[in-house]
Chain A
Amino acid sequence: MVELREVCKSFNVGKPNNIEILHNINLQLARGDFCAVMGPSGSGKSTLLNIIGLLDRPTSGQLAINGEDTTQLDDHALTRLRGHAIGFVFQHHHLLSAFTALENVIMPMMGSNGFCTAEMTAHAKSLLDSVDLLPMCHQASGSMSGGQQQRVAVARALAMNPTLLLADEPTGNLDTKSADAVFELLRRVSTEQGTSVLFVTHNPQLAARCDKTIQVVDGRVV
């Protein structure tokens, strides 16, 4: 489903201050895999996630998603693929605070034509129901608690029924109870929908509950 072959990432290529962040990363993620990514700060975890999430391009190497080699795709094609196949959950939920929880979840679905249909609203409500936030769906996301906002962010990430969910420290800012709830939610999504999840965390207890763990140290998978 996701395959990285000899992926390298450098910044300031060809300049004296060239920094190589990722070195020859080889990685395979199958459908339904629930995988933790661990490593110290600055080791390249977020860069790896940005590359897999098609937000950034590798300097060299190949990245295939759902069997499609993405290295030759132009920006428009990458954006389309990202919108349809990949969901993101960030450490800071990054919800649009002026909008309600329901509107935040509907937004990715409106990307293709800019209009909101009854089907989109129904789908968004069912997603909010799955994260136990349907009663709060018309509440402004800015007025929700951190845990609730992160659950809305998970619902938003699932709006396009992605095959891959990338979560960059989604529990990093949450208390233990909320962190556990978000983790279980992602676990359930992976099990029930077959969504592959790549879950960056600094929490060894949560990592131990994943199917497998990738350790990134100094830009290498060890």
Chain B
Amino acid sequence: MTVRDVYAAEAVAQKISAQTGMQADSWIKTNEQFFTAVNAQTTANTAIRMFVGLSVAFGIASVLVVSVIQKSREIGILRAMGVTRGQILRIFLLQGGLLGFGGSLVGSLLGFAGLVIWQQAEKNPDGSVMFAMKLEPSLILIALVLASVTGLIASFAPALRAARLDPVVAIRG
């Protein structure tokens, strides 16, 4: 019997057993070790993604903190010219968002190129692709949005610091 949701197989098997009194085994039960391994891999993947996201956020934040320190005199001059604290804040938020967007765009392109090269290199004896994997456009879109939002959030503290700079102190350097 085939089920649409592979992870619901055990529940379906138990339901069948309860309703018919017959023995029903799911693939999860017969391949328990494999299923545990898949579960562990999923957990590890989630953890890796979370730490990659955190490191991206800290990376963007540290780049912007350095940028604020290096550009404090320019920030002071802009403030003297009538640029408001809000505008300074937006400049650095935009920079953080663009860093996240640009990074994810380059990452997605590299990932796509890597996949194409791998599929060209690894083929079955009959010439067909050994690992038929497809890069979903929605995955790229999600990555772009997620990275841009991460960049925005990560840049908030440095942007706030830039906006709060005293122009007199900043110009003096």
Give the B-binding residues of A (Cβ under 8 A): 50, 53, 55-56, 75-76, 79-80, 82-84, 88, 90, 94, 96, 107-108, 111, 114, 156, 160
Contact = CB atoms under 8 A, between A and B. Distances in A.
Interface residues of B, number: 16
B79 A50 contact: no
A200 B78 CA distance: 21
9 contacts: A55-B167, A55-B168, A56-B168, A79-B83, A79-B85, A84-B82, A107-B81, A111-B84, A156-B81
A212 B84 CA distance: 34
A88 B167 CA distance: 13
Interface string B33-74: 000000000000000000000000000000000000000011
A96 B82 contact: no
Contact of B80 (A53, A75, A80): A53
Interface of B: 73-74, 77-87, 167-168, 171
Consensus secondary structure, chain B interface: helix
Contacts of A55: 79-80, 167-168, 171
A50 B82 contact: no
Contacts of B85: 75-76, 79
B135 to A, nearest CB: 36
B6 to A, nearest CB: 52
Given A55-B168, A90-B171, A96-B74, A111 B87 contact: yes
A98 to B, nearest CB: 9
Contacts of A156: 81
A96 B80 contact: no
Given A94-B73, A96-B74, A108 B81 contact: yes
Contacts of A111: 78, 81-84, 87
Contacts of A107: 78, 81
A94 B81 contact: no
A107 B80 CA distance: 12
